[in-house]
Structure 1
Amino acid sequence: MRKPETIERLYLDFDGFFASVMQQAYPKLRGRPVGVVPFEGTDRTVVIACSKEAKAAGCTNVMKVLEARQKCPSLVLVPQEPDLFRRAHNALLSEISAVIPIDAIKSIDELTCRLDERQRQEPEDLAATIKDRIARFVGIYITCSIGFAANRHLAKIACKMDKPNGVTIWHPNMMPQPLYPLPFDDIPGIGERMKARLNKLGVYDMQRLLALQPKHMRKIWRNVTGERLWYALHGYDIQAGSSERGMYGHGRVLPPDLRTMKEAREIARILLVKAARRMRRENFAASGLVLWLAITNGSFGDGLKLPAVRDDKAFLDALDILWHRAEGEVAWRKVYRVHVTLIDLTPAKARQLDMLLDDDRERQRWEHVTDAQDDLNRKYSGTIVSTGWWNPPKGGNVGGKISYTRIPRAEDFW
């Protein structure tokens, strides 16, 4: 395994991305403490993201609105605008790509790049060029923090050291001393449960962790992840393994006036159709559907096996079955969140057809109908035809919600 002798990676993290995009788009929000919320008109929700002004007052992401208002009475709450965030993300990528090729997009507000020989010698100039281009061509209210290191993992940690709008450079000859004072919370790959396990074994700080051997780390983590983390923290060139798509799903927190079973069902239908559209765009079929509801004093979850299907009719029929089961248990309780997930994926061209259920004429007919609907909607960039009624709730954003890990596409907002 190779151990780089110089910095080879850049990791970039936009500062308070969602709130800063809102400040850039709306001048009245600039310089004010801003909290982005799922929907307007209620304090019974959380602040999804907050601006640097709100953070300075003690607010944090995923803080209850009532608590955030206590911390910062002047907090300005604004409802999320996922399509605005998507467009801002694409504009920022375009400007960064004009300076350096993007190696991987890690989330809507994080990315990583490989450095060429010149960039390794002049990281400060590279960071300044990126920041200047963002300021000139996107806006001065969207800033970023940048970390440089031998590998992606260390660059990601370095990136967090001087936020907001900072630049941190960790050359290999400096390591591992910069890691010693860091809490485990600052290390990607160490969550609360792992921290408790390490503490139980007498490993309370980074210096003790880094003194472990790779096989010992593997034993503690109970899989190869621990060993990979050891090599990453010690500056080796660790490449992330390829991942396979395991599911397609959408979820939504329901506004207070839509928390009945009837309203939740309408939203579940739209979420399911949008998840199925995403699945078909990437040429998969699904052999299972899972429905999950957050309800008063608990939750409901159930699943249904399917033949390898890809048409809306099959999925909506399956949802009707699961919803009928749910009504028997939760019809009299409020529904706070709904989530639908298509599982057991198969590449559409490689699926094993069921002679009785999947390859009959009726199934083929509905697949042709669904494909025709997709073609029409794609042609006109909107949902102009659907299987059954199409009644998105006020405010939209069903299937195109704010997201850190998945960047919505324009089609997600149809």
Structure 2
Amino acid sequence: MRKPDTIERLYLDFDGFFASVEQQADRRLRGRPVGVVPFEGTDRTCVIACSREAKLFGVKNVMNVSEARERCPDIVLVPQKPDLYRRAHNTLLAEIESVIPIDAVKSIDELTCWLDESGREDPVGLGVRLKSTIARNVGPYVTCSIGFAANRQLAKMACKAGKRTEERYGDGLMIWRPEDLPAPLIVLPLSDVPGVGGRMEQRLARAGVYSMADLYALQPKHMRKLWGNVNGERLWYALHGYDIQAQPSERGMFGHGRVLPPESRTLPAAYEICRLLLIKAARRLRRAGYYCNGLMLWLALRGGEWSDQLKLPIVNDDQAVLAGLARLWERVRRKHSNGTQVFRVGVTLCELSLADQRQLDMLINDDRTRQKWESVSTAIDGLNARYGRTVMSLGPWKPPAGGHVGGKISYTRIPTAEDFW
């Protein structure tokens, strides 16, 4: 396994991305503490992103709006605009590509690049060029922090450390050269290691690992045992400066979730939103060239949650998945009354197979029916693509207040323009 003797990776993370894009797009928000919320008109939700001005008051992402108002009475709450953030993301990628090729986009606001010889020799100059290009061609309110290190994992951690330097937030730049390590690494909290959350910290504490220095001193096989898989050993090599490449991943599911606005928190209203989310998931399934063999439904309820799954024929058309949802919803209705409050819903199409590898179930003689409904779904997809919006759907198409059905930006997926139809 190769151990680089110089910096080879750049990791870039935009600062308070959703909030900074809002400030760049709306001059009335500039210089003010901004919190982005799922929808407007209620305090019974959380801040999903906040500006650097709000962070100075102690506001954090995923903080209840009521607590955010207590910490920062002047905070301006702005409902999310996922399509704006998607378009800003694509614009920023184009500007960065004009300076350095992008190796991998990790999320809506994070990416990584390989360094060429000039970047390795002058990382500060490269960072300045990237920041000035963004400020000049996009705007000065969308800032980023950049980390440089021998591998992607260390560059990501350096980026996070640089974001918090000199008692300020954002617009940072941090360089961790191999000869400088492990000094800047071992002073960090364990929570700064990507993938180490509260539960993993508890597991490490039970094993006598309380600090980054303790973790760094472990052996590779011990790390593997603590993590319960090879990822622990891979993390050991990454923290010690080895060139560890991300493992290729395979598509496992297509799904959508949504926090419900107050007026949609009844069972009937939640069902209608689940229908729309499932149609959006089925559209993505078809565009990617997959079929599914399973459907999962999840509901967050007052006082708990409910989930179940259903086996489907190998399908990808709207009629088949909606019929499956109706069957699952009957189970919901038998368990809960119409007065039950639903705060969040999620639908997932799983057990995937590629379209050119589809194998029909010999015990289900429905191929003619399936071909008919697949033709209907294909025709609907074609009309919607022609007009760039949902002009036809199987059943009513009435998005709830706030819209964004199927267009939510998650940590692992960046929506396409089609997701907002």
TM > 0.5 fold call: yes
**Is the partner of 1:147 in helix, strand or coil?**
strand
Distance in structure 2 (CA, Å) of the matches to 1:250 and 1:262: 18
Q: Deviations over 1:214-261 (max 9, x none)?
A: 111111112111100000000000001011111110011111111111
Aligned pairs for 1:5-404 (under 5 A) are 5-163=5-163, 164-331=170-337, 332-357=339-364, 360-404=367-411
Distance in structure 2 (CA, Å) of the matches to 1:272 and 1:338: 11
Offset of residue 359 of structure 1: 5.1
Offset of residue 403 of structure 1: 2.7
Runs of 4+ more than 4 Å apart: none
The letter of the residue matching 2:199 is R
What is the aligned partner in structure 1 of residue 166 from structure 2? none
Tell me the TM-score normalized by structure 2.
Answer: 0.97
Kept after mapping to 1: 8 A contact 2:224/2:232 = yes
List runs of 5+ in structure 2 lacking aligned partners.
Answer: 164-169
**Is the partner of 1:345 in helix, strand or coil?**
strand
Offset of residue 203 of structure 1: 1.6
Counterpart check, 1:412 vs 2:419:
yes
List runs of 5+ in structure 1 lacking aligned partners.
Answer: none
Offset of residue 301 of structure 1: 1.0
Kept after mapping to 2: 8 A contact 1:290/1:342 = yes
Q: Deviations over 1:176-215 (max 9, x none)?
A: 1111111001111322222112212222111121111111
Kept after mapping to 1: 8 A contact 2:261/2:401 = no
Distance in structure 1 (CA, Å) of the matches to 2:223 and 2:147: 25
Kept after mapping to 1: 8 A contact 2:276/2:399 = yes
Q: Deviations over 1:76-130 (max 9, x none)?
A: 1010000000000000000001111100000000000000111110111110000
The letter of the residue matching 1:410 is A
Distance in structure 2 (CA, Å) of the matches to 1:360 and 1:114: 49
Offset of residue 142 of structure 1: 0.2
The letter of the residue matching 1:385 is M
Offset of residue 394 of structure 1: 2.2
The letter of the residue matching 1:124 is V
Kept after mapping to 2: 8 A contact 1:353/1:359 = no
Q: CA RMSD in A?
A: 1.0
Distance in structure 2 (CA, Å) of the matches to 1:393 and 1:349: 36
Q: Deviations over 1:54-91 (max 9, x none)?
A: 00011000000000000000011010000000000000
Kept after mapping to 2: 8 A contact 1:189/1:229 = no
Moved more, 171-180 or 267-276: 171-180
What is the aligned partner in structure 1 of residue 167 from structure 2? none
Offset of residue 358 of structure 1: 6.4
**Is the partner of 1:161 in helix, strand or coil?**
helix
Kept after mapping to 2: 8 A contact 1:295/1:330 = no
Distance in structure 2 (CA, Å) of the matches to 1:299 and 1:359: 35
Kept after mapping to 2: 8 A contact 1:40/1:78 = yes
Distance in structure 1 (CA, Å) of the matches to 2:399 and 2:317: 20
